[in-house]
């Protein structure tokens, strides 16, 4: 790993010491600065140019670093840039740090704390929080130390324009950043009336998206290449039109095997819906439930504290975590030890394990299509549409709020429009 120049490291540490940064945090900041130097050396970026920081943060995003880690890394590199600008040989005076600490305006720490509260208040998913916090952290780095209550619309426009022109992000990615900043102004800064970013922004053109769809034969081939329980998960994704997170968040009480109904709680947008369980899966599901129950009984003999539950449910029903009805349909293979309490709990299978299994199966199947877990959901909708199932029915099964979202699947099947002039009485004679 590329090392930080000794003189820079000394000044960097002195700055943190004067600022009263703890020894543990000093090590963390130095670690991120070393990572930055190593990144620049590896990918031929200049450590002295601020464009390198943008590329570094992009790499952290690709590596799925948490928003908190991205913020800490950004601040660490910004301190280094400040050292370069001032050509420091001595640390700043104590008075400079005191005046900085006496700043009474809104801090970025309070912004992220307020963001977490606003997300939780609206019952949005943890994934939404990570996405929004990641973009806001990136926006903070772009502002180069500017405090939250000093942000102007010009800063927002410059950031979004930079994403489109310099970062060359896709239209959907830029819209995601736009939504994160809109949430920041609306629910955190309470300045929604100022948010008018439609004028003066270079927007990345959003292309028409046509999803990848498998044939029924390709679905069967991929599933045949998967081991248990990943093959059953793939069957649920395709057979019920589930998103991956919806499938992995299923609990025992979501299954109604007698009525052949599956209930999806807290889907996208926190909406609930029901879909029919495929009859061909009933036998396999019953065998799977028996295996999960056997694992559950083994857990109970090992000082088990139950499945992880939403905080509100656990407060309302303290014993629910130990009930079989609240156990995961697809539990993780290992128990998780909670550091704060020492409890042994079980989580569901991690999304990355399923995604990795599907990638491996697709590779072994030698398909010429880019297949992900979500491809099974696209295929579910397309095959129903191909079977002449009503578009509104498909919309309900997918949990779409707007039928226009469902209409995208009309591009994935062959047109069955009859262009010849014909009487309706003769339609039955036509081979559709």
Residues 255 and 372 grouped into a single domain? yes
84 and 14 share one domain = yes
Q: Reply yes or no on whether 383 is catalytic.
A: no
Say what the pLDDT of residue 41 is.
Answer: 86
Q: Rounded to an integer, what distance in angstroms lies between the CA atom of residue 164 and that of residue 366?
A: 35
Catalytic site includes residue 404: no
Residue 146 covered by a domain: yes
Note down the domain range covering 18: 6-97+105-194
Whether 252 and 384 map to the same domain: the answer is yes
Of the three residues 126, 159, 194, the one that is the final residue of a domain is: 194
**CA dist., res. 277 & res. 326, Å (int):** 19
The verdict on residue 234 lying in a domain is yes
In a domain, 422, yes or no: no
Residue 84 is assigned to a structural domain of this protein: yes
Q: Is 251 a catalytic residue?
A: no
Q: CB under 8 Å to 349, separation ≥6 — which residues? A: 229, 233, 248, 328, 330, 331, 332, 333
pLDDT at 145: 67
Residue 403 sits in a domain of what CATH number? 1.10.443.10
Instruction: Out of 15, 71, 225, 243, pick the active-site residue.
Output: 243
Structure confidence by residue, pLDDT tens digits, 384-395: 998 888 899 999
281 and 374, same domain (yes or no): yes
Tell me how many domains the chain contains.
Answer: 2
Query: Cα separations (Å) of 243 from 128, 212, 224, 239?
Result: 15, 15, 20, 11
* Whether 35 and 175 share a structural domain: yes
Q: What is the pLDDT of residue 255?
A: 96
The rounded distance, in Å, linking the Cα atoms of 413 and 415 is 6
- Tokens encoding 41: 């050396």
119 lies in a domain? yes
Residue 427 belongs to a domain: no
- The reported pLDDT for the residue numbered 328 is 97
* 220 shares its domain with 303: yes
* Cross-strand bridge partners of residue 262: 255, 275
CA distance 23 to 273: 51
Cβ atoms of residues 3 and 37 within 8 Å: yes
- Within 10 angstroms of residue 179's Cβ, the number of other Cβ atoms is 14
Question: Quick check: is 335 in a domain?
Answer: yes
Omega of the bond prior to 229 within 30 degrees of 0, cis? yes
Q: Is-catalytic flag, 400?
A: yes
pLDDT of residue 205: 66
The residue from 251, 377, 378, 383 that is catalytic is 377
* 146/257 same-domain check: no
Would residue 262 count as lying in a domain?
yes
SS3 96: helix
Shared domain for 139 and 232, answered yes or no, is: no
End-to-end CA distance of the chain: 65
Q: Could you tell me the two tokens for 19? A: 């600022």
Pick the catalytic residue from 268, 273, 305, 353.
Answer: 268
What is the reported pLDDT for 349? 95
Neighbours of 184 (CB within 10 A): 24
Name the nearest CA neighbour of 103 among 152, 150, 141: 150
Q: Same domain for 405 and 340?
A: yes
Domain boundary among 154, 171, 194: 194
Q: Do 53 and 176 have their domain in common?
A: yes
348 is an active site residue? no
**One domain, residues 164 and 269:** no
Same domain, 190 and 212: no
User: In tens digits, what is the pLDDT along the chain, a chain of 432 residues?
Assistant: 566 777 777 777 776 765 666 667 777 888 888 888 888 888 888 888 878 888 898 888 888 888 888 888 888 888 888 777 665 444 444 344 334 444 445 777 788 888 988 998 887 877 888 889 889 888 887 887 678 888 888 899 889 888 888 888 888 888 899 999 999 999 999 887 777 655 666 666 666 778 999 999 999 999 999 999 999 999 999 999 999 999 999 999 999 999 999 999 877 767 899 999 999 999 999 999 999 999 999 999 988 999 999 877 888 888 999 999 999 999 999 999 887 788 899 999 999 999 999 999 999 999 999 999 999 999 999 999 988 888 999 999 999 988 988 999 888 877 565 555 555 645 554 444
377 is catalytic: yes
Contact 345, 338 (CB under 8 A): yes
pTM: 0.69
Give the residue from 171, 194, 217 where a domain finishes.
Answer: 194
Q: What is the CATH number of the domain that holds 162?
A: 1.10.150.130
């Amino acid at each position: 790993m590329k090392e930080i120049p000794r003189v820079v490291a000394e000044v960097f540490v002195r700055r943190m010491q004067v600022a009263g940064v703890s020894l543990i945090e000093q090590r963390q900041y130095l670690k991120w600065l070393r990572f930055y130097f190593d990144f620049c050396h590896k990918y031929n970026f200049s450590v002295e140019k601020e464009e390198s920081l943008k590329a570094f943060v992009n790499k952290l995003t690709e590596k799925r670093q948490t928003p908190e880690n991205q913020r800490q890394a950004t601040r660490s590199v910004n301190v280094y840039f400040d050292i370069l600008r001032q050509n420091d040989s001595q640390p700043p005076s104590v008075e400079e740090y005191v005046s900085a600490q006496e700043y009474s305006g809104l801090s970025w720490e309070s912004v992220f704390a307020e963001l977490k509260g606003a997300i939780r208040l609206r019952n949005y998913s943890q994934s939404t929080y990570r996405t929004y916090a990641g973009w806001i952290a990136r926006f903070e780095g772009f502002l180069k130390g500017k405090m939250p209550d000093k942000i102007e619309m010009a800063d927002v426009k410059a950031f979004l324009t930079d994403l489109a022109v310099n970062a060359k992000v896709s239209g959907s990615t830029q819209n995601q950043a736009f939504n994160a900043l809109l949430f920041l102004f609306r629910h955190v800064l309470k300045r929604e009336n100022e948010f008018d970013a439609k004028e003066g922004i270079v927007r990345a053109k959003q292309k028409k998206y046509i999803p990848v769809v498998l044939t029924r034969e390709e679905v069967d081939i991929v599933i045949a290449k998967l081991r248990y329980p990943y093959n059953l998960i793939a069957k649920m994704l395709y057979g019920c039109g589930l998103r991956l997170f919806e499938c992995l968040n299923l609990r025992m009480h979501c299954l109604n095997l007698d009525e052949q109904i599956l209930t999806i709680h807290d889907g996208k947008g926190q909406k609930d819906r029901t879909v029919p369980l495929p009859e061909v899966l009933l036998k396999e599901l019953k065998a799977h439930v028996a295996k999960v129950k056997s694992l559950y009984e083994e857990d109970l003999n090992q000082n088990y504290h139950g499945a992880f539950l939403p905080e509100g449910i656990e407060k309302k029903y303290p014993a629910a975590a130990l009930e079989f009805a609240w156990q995961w349909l697809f539990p993780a293979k290992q128990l998780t030890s909670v550091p704060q309490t020492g409890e042994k709990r079980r989580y569901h299978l991690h999304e990355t394990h399923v995604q990795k299994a599907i990638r491996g199966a697709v590779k072994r199947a030698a398909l010429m299509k880019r297949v992900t877990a979500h491809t099974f959901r696209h295929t579910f909708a397309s095959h129903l549409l191909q079977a002449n199932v009503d578009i509104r029915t498909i919309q309900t099964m997918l949990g779409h709020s707007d039928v226009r979202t469902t209409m995208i699947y009309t591009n994935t099947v062959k047109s069955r429009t009859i262009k010849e002039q014909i009487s309706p009485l003769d339609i039955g004679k036509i081979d559709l």
